[in-house]
Structure 1
Amino acid sequence: MNSQHNEILWRTDPGEGKLITFIFILLCLLAASLPFENILIILAEIDTPFRPHRILAIIIGFLIFLIIPLRNLIYSSNDLKLAGIYLLGLIPTFVAFLDNRLEFDYFLLTSLQLFIILWIYFMVKSLQLSELRIKHLFHIFCCFTLLNAIYMIYIFVFEDIGRQSGFMDNPNYAAFTLNISLAFYLYKLVLPGSQVQKYFRLYYLLAFCIVLAGIFVTGSRSALVSLILTILLFGIIHFSWKRLFVSLLFIFGVFIWVRQHEIGQKYLDVVPLLNRLEALSGREESRLTLWIQGWRAFEDTYFLGLGIEQFKNPKIYSQYLQTSDNPMLVSQEGLVLHNDYLAVLFEFGILPFLLFISFYFNIFYKLLMQLKQQEGSLWFVCFVNVLVFSFFDTTFQSLPFWFVILLLSALADMKLSRSQFTLDEQSMSISK
């Protein structure tokens, strides 16, 4: 099928074609800016919710809205579940307001961030970019994540041996982008029957090593889980004894080099991820305490929900968390649940939780069905990373996270539309 079939079919004015190209250039800038979401704070010490990447997302959505007639806005039923989650979440939020336990600032900030995420999500899905353009956006995102990884490693080696996030909000979000990029570069290395030129293969190998090092300096344990799953899934899907032998030889060689060189041993001893695994072993798991106390708070609302972003409300947090035996939690003014699934359940309610699970499952199933197609394993593994990260963190304020979901969802829907279009063509030819 012609790749242009997926580009907005209603377009007839050549001027609109130029505008679409301009919008795509802006989308490329957005993809490049996402791994640098914190750049204003780091370079100019300006802390504002209206960061460059969010303003750019609003502008892009507005331009798309201007050129696409309302009757041609295209959303799948699965996409609409996202809007349903937020709208249904307003019910327990309103109840919290009536009970005088609503922290309005938290609700307003999260609502603003969710609006920007949903705005760019729905507008770009309606644009119906071609598969090639979506892949370009994904590649740009991974390349600029690589640049952020280089900056993180530089800071770790020369300035601060603690956990690093580079230009991103926090180490966990940085770890997610690095895991996605690692999956991309690893896929390029294990691509079956690949005829990639040697210098490109060298670039992919170098990028893979840099991103892997970046993951270790984030200190994110969820990133370690995702890393192991990524390698296992690619190993199962694209199994080869030769690749297995080369990979083990490479890992063994790196390990020996680190052990034999003083500078390598020096930095190995302070790698944040390894240090955190050792330091936190045998201690009460903070996330588990958050989840248990979150369930207690949810029960006390008679399973209606706490309200959007209300778990860290000081009134609720002090009641359920600051009486725990975990000093890390007691010393905090308020933490999020560090779990998207439970955050939706405890704060938005049961029905939004079911919609959220259904939304994820729909994309997962479509990508699973496309596993044997070209690059199907890459998109599937990336979405597994999404599922894992959602289990260990709360992402409703993370545009980079939802940008990846946007691209994967668009690819999943596109493959489905393509197969349906092919069937329609076949049925038409038969009828003729």
Structure 2
Amino acid sequence: MKISVIGCGYLGAVHAASMAKLGHEVIGIDTDINKVTALQSGHAPFFEPGLPELLDEALSAGRLQFSTKMSDISDSDVHFVCVGTPQKSGEYAADIQYVDAAFSALIPHMRPGSVAVGKSTVPVGTASRIAALIEHGAPETHLVWNPEFLREGHAVQDTLTPDRLVYGISQDEKGHLAASILDHVYEAALAVGTPRLIVNYATAELVKSAANSFLATKISFINAMAEVCEVAGADVTSLADAIGMDDRIGRKFLNAGIGFGGGCLPKDIRAFMARAGELGADQALTFLREVDAINMRRRSKVVERTRELCGGSLIGKRITVLGATFKPNSDDVRDSPALSIAAQLQLQGANVTVTDPEGLANAMKRFPELKYERDLKISVTNANAVLLLTEWDEYTQLDPGTIGNLVDDRVILDGRNAINPEDWRANGWTYQGIGIPLSQ
């Protein structure tokens, strides 16, 4: 099919390249000429494993191109809108101005029989409002809301082989016709048995918000248990193993650590709370305020624990932070707990050096006052304490003996419980994880 993708940021660029991989003819549209130029040259403006190879393949095959001109999409059958919905400045609510602008620009170029597909995460009620605009401006077309469920670091895989497909449609013949068109887009995934759910617009919008809120709740729950474990003398990892064996609970997302960050979970749960308040259902989601509070509290807890490991004072201590991104296999530092902790440590008198395989350029833009060092060995030289805050493989597989020869003090705080305490202690390190007593 002929497909357009409006918005070529993280979601859009991955979606465009993946649709081309599936054999469709795809054109990606973005207002940023630099981004379009880079993508047209096969260069992704962000780090995502597998995307450069996908871009090269699709561009070489002639199935993918990028442009700044909306007029270039006029012969497309399906139009995916993949623009961002950041948190409003000073508010919890989502800023949907880019979604509105994208659809306003798209509608005049939709031909009869074509389908607009919203993939952006939006407040419930947005799709119905946009459907009315489409009905007025392009009455022989239709809207489907098709939420994305991408995990950064696995976005290509999640797009090519999704675990489910959700279509939000109008409950009439026109809506089901639009769903059948979208079935052609996802023919490869459906052919291997990928579950497909057809729901109304509101349900489709709520799926992503509800899923992210549930995941955030699991993370904050186990981090709350970590706080209890630390004062009770228990081990949160063993606790998580035990409760995770209950198939009603499951072990995934029960890893205690420094909390969640990134461009989705924090802003999505806040936007969910804000929208529920607008609808008069704010009491239903008050628990998410505590989920958010627990998550943010993890950062200050790590700072306090680092102070204890440094003998009660951070002033003048040389601290190396391993990891700037909010998760491994990404260069995304939006709302990164690791960077937030590094900044707090420096504000309290420590001399902080941050290292990361992919995220330093973005980190420098957000916290220019911090010191950054790409070379891992240089970054830890003469350190009084090392903090493992993003679980990149190259950090979790470090040799404690080799690193121990570079630091001044063999002190490590494992903010992700990602390395073997026995190995490090056997090499003379003071090891501290999350959710275990300080003395253990």
TM over 0.5: no
* TM-score in terms of structure 2 length: 0.28
* TM-score in terms of structure 1 length: 0.29
Greater share of residues in helix: 1
Highest relative contact order (Cα 8 Å, sep 6+), 1 or 2? 1
Greater share of residues in strand: 2
